[in-house]
């Protein structure tokens, strides 16, 4: 089966700008999930830098995107702000009262195609969206960002079988492989090595990419097989861009032991926020 490569012209979303939003809003709202958001920054930046073809968030012919790992919602909100689809002032309501910007994305918000938050459901929605495009003879593509921990969910594999059986070449999954899940390392909680081989065994066209390299991601996302769904296994670093988060060090809460999952939960202290921002600005 011949591969098709879509030429993508980048109208770049800056990963630094996206990280700045994530840090600022996590700090303001005093919430966690920072590590999960930081590690998908380049993936979202790549998607919203021209991979997704979206003329307007309510265009029925837009490509669809499902953030199946909904706990990285803030990263998505940041991308939508940088695209200009939701006003920057909206971010001020993140984790506020009576807001559409909770931790997990809600479809009632412009630019969010599907509400997520419960792991294992997003890929099912995406699979339906891809099948719908086939029914409607549309060339819409559907992208879905799942996580390695999420692959614990049986429903992920139900979708994997379904999409391959129905030869949904318009469906592309990005697997955020950060090696972490909610209560430890994926290898300690539910060891699932050789994810690329597993997906290939399910009939998927599988590529591997550096999850923090925009060119690598854009190249991988542009390749697809017309007769099989595609997955890009993106190797990422939890808390990417903030070295103490990458190392799992809770600087302010010294009673906690350093472990990679720390920054799945903790909000930042003032000092931690300053340090994170300093590092971010230095890497520009």
- The site for another protein (CB under 8 A) is made up of 60, 64, 107, 113-115, 117-118, 120-121, 123-133, 135-136, 142, 154-155, 158-159, 161-162, 165
Distances in whole angstroms, Cα of residue 137 to Cα of each of 45, 126, 146? 28, 17, 26
Residue 191 CA neighbour count, 13 Å, CB half: 3
Shortest Å distance, C-beta 108 to another protein:
9
Report the alpha-carbon distance of residue 147 to residue 234 in Å, rounded.
10
Query: Based on CB atoms, which residue is closest to another protein, 17 or 151?
Result: 151
Q: Which residue has the tokens 């799945």?
A: 264
Shortest Å distance, C-beta 161 to another protein:
7
Query: Based on CB atoms, which residue is closest to another protein, 3 or 138?
Result: 138
223 with 229: CB under 8 angstroms? no
Query: Based on CB atoms, which residue is closest to another protein, 155 or 237?
Result: 155
Shortest Å distance, C-beta 71 to another protein:
14
Lookup: tokens for 107? 């479809």
In 3D space, the residue among 231, 212, 229, 228 whose CA is nearest the CA of residue 220 turns out to be 231
Query: Based on CB atoms, which residue is closest to another protein, 144 or 218?
Result: 144
Shortest Å distance, C-beta 139 to another protein:
13
Shortest Å distance, C-beta 20 to another protein:
31
280 with 19: CB under 8 angstroms? yes
What lies within 8 Å, CB to CB, of 215 at 6+ separation is none
Report the alpha-carbon distance of residue 263 to residue 109 in Å, rounded.
27
Query: Based on CB atoms, which residue is closest to another protein, 140 or 212?
Result: 140
């Amino acid at each position: 089966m011949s591969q098709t490569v879509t030429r993508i012209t980048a109208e770049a979303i800056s990963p630094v700008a996206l990280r700045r939003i994530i840090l600022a809003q996590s700090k303001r709202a005093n919430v966690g999930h920072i590590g999960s958001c930081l590690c998908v920054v380049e993936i979202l930046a790549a998607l919203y830098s021209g991979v997704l073809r979206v003329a307007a968030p309510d265009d029925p012919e837009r490509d669809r995107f499902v953030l199946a790992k909904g706990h990285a919602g803030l990263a998505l909100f940041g991308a939508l702000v940088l695209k200009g689809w939701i006003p920057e002032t909206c971010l001020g309501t993140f984790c506020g009262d009576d807001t559409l910007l909770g931790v997990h994305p809600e479809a009632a918000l412009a630019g969010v195609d599907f509400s997520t938050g419960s792991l294992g459901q997003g890929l099912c929605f995406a699979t339906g969206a891809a099948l719908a495009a086939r029914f409607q003879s549309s060339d819409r593509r559907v992208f879905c960002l799942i996580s390695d921990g999420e692959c614990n969910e049986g429903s992920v594999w139900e979708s994997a079988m379904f999409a391959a059986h129905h030869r949904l070449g318009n469906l592309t999954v990005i697997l955020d492989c950060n090696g972490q899940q909610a209560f430890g390392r994926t290898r300690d909680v539910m060891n699932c090595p050789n994810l690329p081989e597993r997906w290939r065994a399910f009939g998927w066209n599988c590529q591997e990419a550096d999850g923090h390299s925009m060119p690598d991601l854009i190249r991988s996302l542009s390749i697809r097989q017309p007769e099989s769904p595609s997955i890009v296994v993106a190797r990422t670093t939890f808390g990417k861009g903030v070295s103490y988060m990458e190392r799992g060090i809770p600087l302010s809460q010294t009673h906690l032991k350093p472990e990679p999952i720390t920054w799945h939960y903790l909000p930042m202290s003032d000092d931690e926020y300053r340090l994170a921002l300093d590092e971010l600005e230095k890497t520009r």
